[in-house]
Amino acid sequence: MMKPVHASRCGDFATQHVDMRASRSRACFYGVCALLFAVCAAATLIACGSMSTMSDMPMPGGWAMSMMWMPMCGRTWPGVAARFVGMWIVMMIAMMLPSLAPVLWRYEEALRRAGHARAALMTLVAGVGYLAVWAAFGAAVFVLGATLAALEVQMPAASRAVPVAAGVIVLSAGALQLTALKARYLRCCRHAAQSCLHALPTRAVAAIRYGVRLGVHCCGCCANLTAVLAVTGVMDLRAMAAVTVAITLERVAPHGEFFARGIGFVVIGAGLFMIVGAASLV
């Protein structure tokens, strides 16, 4: 039996209406993400510019230590730590958003299809949970960096070993890119990104839990590349750009493991170059 023409047209109109709403929602979502990225990138540039006006401390071993690890001009340790974590969060938003945005969009889209009226709010809450993990990671980085900086100031022998140690860390981070552990972390990140399609949260606590789980997987997957950023210069724009591109490629590209291995070889080469350069200064 043939369907009435007007019923068929109504069905087509309803489908087109749904598609238009989805397109508008997608455009709005990525527009907000682009604006957030631009704001955080600009704030990072300003922070890097302010840090460049501070003279680094020459250290034994032919290198200079950034003063962001030490309190200056009457500042207290809590104030220095808060400033670092604040800059870290802004920097991580700019660095991680290119790979995070598609995940959050799939999450919001799944919520809408399931009929949740507060899909946008739940997505925002999940993003807050994700950033909370990176904030905790940044606090740990500051504690470790400040502790090492204090030891390097007090122990010249330790300071002389820093350039070689930095090269070894970069070399190790590159080697980790080639391991099965890295591939497993990449698969875990993709699984965490797709888990919203199977277990949609209906409360803010559940959305935070999803964001935290996503952040934990992300930190584990990006820990070695973040270590490269830490030893080459946390506020170095070139290092930030390189790490951002690397993380985005291995997380978003169709063959992420292939890109991860290629990035690993590049990082290994950089680590060897750093070690050779540091050894020539000894």
The domains of the chain are located at 8-281
Does residue 56 carry a pLDDT above 90? no
- Angle between the N-to-C axes of helices 77-113 and 237-252, in degrees from 0 to 180, rounded to the nearest 10: 30
Q: pLDDT value at position 29?
A: 92
Mean pLDDT of the region 147-175: 90
Q: Is residue 196 over pLDDT 70?
A: no
Q: Which residue, chain included where needed, has tokens 């990176």? A: 134
At 13 the pLDDT is 46
Q: Which residues pair with 209 in a beta bridge?
A: none
**pTM score of the predicted model:** 0.84
Q: Is the pLDDT of residue 10 over 90?
A: no
pLDDT (0 to 100) of residue 22: 66
- Under the banding of pLDDT at 50, 70 and 90, the label for residue 1 is very low
**CA geometry: angle 116, 118, 121, nearest 5 deg:** 140
**74 — alpha (psi -120 to 50), left (phi > 0) or beta?**
left
**How much is the pLDDT for 157?**
84
Candidate from 5-19, 24-38, 196-210 with smallest mean pLDDT: 5-19
pLDDT of residue 149: 87
pLDDT winner (highest mean) among 63-77, 142-156, 161-175: 161-175
Computed over every residue of the chain, the mean pLDDT equals 84
* Tokens read off for 64: 């200079």
pLDDT value for 192: 62
The CA-CA-CA angle for residues 137, 216, 30, to 5°, reads 95
pLDDT at position 137, please?
A: 95
Q: Which residue has the higher pLDDT, 236 or 127?
A: 127
Q: What angle do CA 272, 257, 244 make, to 5 degrees?
A: 65
